[in-house]
Every structure is written in structure tokens, then in C-alpha cells.
Chain A
């Protein structure tokens, strides 16, 4: 039965579905990321003002932050972000080739968070705590908030990997998790620059 045989009251139109610019997941994640960017910007701004107000910075009785070790860890994080980009591109061409970069990205991301945790244990043992100084308070606040976001993003990537292994993964799902990871990776150099250097 073609559309022309229907009565005038029932008009069947072959709707031409236009592809969306972005998926709902990616758009929603972008809107969430905007609010998180403002959240981090507020904390970094407050830290900047406190730092400028201090007569001596960094506080002389506090341990120095591990700049070199964190620089290595930052490179690991950036590599993880690059691997997620690679996984996305491979997934769009040949899904099976996306497995290795996806797993590698998750592994490096986990290493980053674990290394951060090890740094924290070391700093806590040296006397840098949330109440020892404003440096300690802001350090754990800003870096800790970033670590929470990183953990959530790792959880999303892990969930993506599980769906991938079962053959259920949609490109939009991978894109949504990837966008969140790009935010986590992109925010870290700013935090490293303002807090560690």
C-alpha cells in the first residue's frame, strides 16, 4: 500500500531522518563538563588569590611538591588521552582494532590515579595535610577533586570496554565516555601548572 492510496485525512509522509549533529549522550556530557570547568576554575582562582596573598610561598615548613614525578605522571595521562582518540578512530573504521588502544588507555589511566595515590601517601607522611597549611588544603582539594573525576571517567571507560567485548557498544556510548576523559586529561595540565609549578 503506497502513500498515494490513503485518504486525505491520513497523510503518510516518508520522514527523512536527518542525522543528528551530536548524540544525546555527548551533548549532555558537554553540558555537564561546562559546569565542571567552572567548578575547577573557581577552585584554581581561589588558590591563585591565596597564593598571591601569602607573604612567603610555598610555606617554608611544608614539603615540596613532587614536580618531576608528577610531570612523568602527566605524560602518562596525556598518552592515555591520545589512546582514547585512537580507539575512537579505529572503532569507526574497524571495531576489532579498537580493543588494544582502549585497554591500554584504561590501564594508563589507572596507573595515573594509582601513582597520584602513592604521591599522596608520601606527602602525608612528610606532613602535608589538609589542615597543615593553605597549600595542603588547596592541594588535596583540587587534586583530589580531579582524581574523583578521573575515577568516574575510568569507570565509564571500563563500562565501555565491557560493552565492547560483548558486542553491544554503540559509537555514541564510546563518544560520551571519551568526551568525559578528554575533559579529565585536558584539565590536568592547567591544574599541574597552577598548583605544582
Chain B
């Protein structure tokens, strides 16, 4: 019962938060960094560099992770294709 009421509370809180974001976008305008520039070029520079700095670590770490995963896959494929140790090629031993 307590678990259900917690889930319900979380769902209601998430709904109210999403509603506030949709119907009150002016809250974002309070960011002094994003809106301090009076000129469009300055605002665009702020926006683009913010997006750049946010996406860059995800891209770099994701790329490194992907390359490592590919390397592990190739090593596992090689070890599966290689004959087991001690396997004799001569039929009469």
C-alpha cells in the first residue's frame, strides 16, 4: 500500500513538473548567462557553446567505449577461432 502511494506521488510530481515546463517557459529566460547578450550573435554563441560542452563528454566517452567494445569483440572472435591449446595436428601420437 505504501509502495503504491509512493509511485502515485512520484507520477503526480512528474506530471506537474512537466506541465510547468510546458506552460511556463519564461522560467528558462531567468538564466542570466543565456540572456545577458543583447545581440543575436552573442546569444547564439552562448547557446552553441553550451550545447557543444554538454554533448562533447558524452561523445568522447561514448566513442571510447564503443572502440573498446569493438576491440573486445574482435579478441573474443579470434580466441574462439583459434585451436585449443595442446591440440595435436599429428594423427598418430
Residues of A within 8 A of B (CB): 16, 18-19, 21-22, 30, 34, 37-38, 41-42, 45, 48-49, 51-53
Q: Which residues of B contact A16 (CB under 8 A)?
A: 85
Flag if B64 contacts A30 (CB, 8 Å): yes
Question: Are A41 and B56 in contact, with the CB atoms below 8 A?
Answer: yes
A-B pairs with beta carbons under 8 Å apart, 18 shown: A16-B85, A19-B75, A21-B71, A21-B72, A21-B75, A22-B71, A30-B64, A34-B57, A34-B64, A38-B56, A42-B53, A45-B53, A48-B48, A49-B46, A52-B41, A52-B44, A53-B42, A53-B45
B residues within 8 A CB of A18? 75, 79
Q: Are A49 and B57 in contact (CB under 8 A)?
A: no
**Chain A residues near B60 (CB-CB < 8 A):** 34, 37
- Report whether A22 and B68 are in contact in the complex, using a CB–CB cutoff of 8 Å: yes
Q: Please report the C-alpha to C-alpha distance between residue A30 and residue B75 in the assembled complex, in whole angstroms.
A: 20
Name which residue of chain A comes closest to B73, CB basis. Answer: A21
- B interface residue count range (under 10 / 10 to 19 / 20 to 34 / 35 or more): 20 to 34
A17 and B50 CA atoms in complex are apart in Å by 45
Residues of the B chain whose Cβ atoms lie less than 8 Å from the Cβ of A30: 64
Q: Tell me the smallest distance from the CB of B67 to a CB of chain A, in Å.
A: 9
Q: Is the CB of B56 within 8 A of A37?
A: yes
What separation, in Å, do the CA atoms of A21 and B61 have in the docked complex?
A: 16
Tell me the bound Cα distance from A19 to B44 in angstroms: 48
User: Which residues on B sit within 8 Å (CB–CB) of A51?
Assistant: 45
Give the Cβ gap from B35 to chain A, nearest Cβ, in Å: 14
Please report the C-alpha to C-alpha distance between residue A34 and residue B62 in the assembled complex, in whole angstroms. Answer: 11
**Is the CB–CB distance between B49 and A49 below 8 Å?**
yes
Q: Which residues of the other chain, A, contact B41 by a CB distance below 8 angstroms?
A: 52
Which residue of chain B has its CB nearest to the CB of A38? B57
List B contacts of A22 (CB < 8 A): 68, 71
**Residues on A with beta carbons closer than 8 Å to the beta carbon of B39:** 52-53
In the complex the two chains form, what is the Cα distance from A45 to B39 in whole Å? 18
- List the B residue with the shortest CB-CB distance to A47: B49
Q: B42 and A41: CB pair below 8 A?
A: no
Q: List chain B residues, Cβ under 8 A from A41.
A: 52-53, 56
Contacts of B72 in A (CB 8 A): 21
In the complex, A8→B30 CA distance in Å?
A: 71
**Closest Cβ neighbor of B49 among chain A residues:** A45
Closest-CB distance, A5 to chain B (whole angstroms) = 18
| Chain B residues, CB < 8 A from A45 | 49, 52-53
- Does B57 lie within 8 Å of A52, measured CB to CB? no
Q: How far is the CA of A42 from the CA of B52 in the complex (A)?
A: 10
| Chain A residue nearest in CB terms to B37 | A53
Q: Given the interface contacts A18-B75, A21-B72, does A52 sit within 8 Å of B56 by beta carbon?
A: no
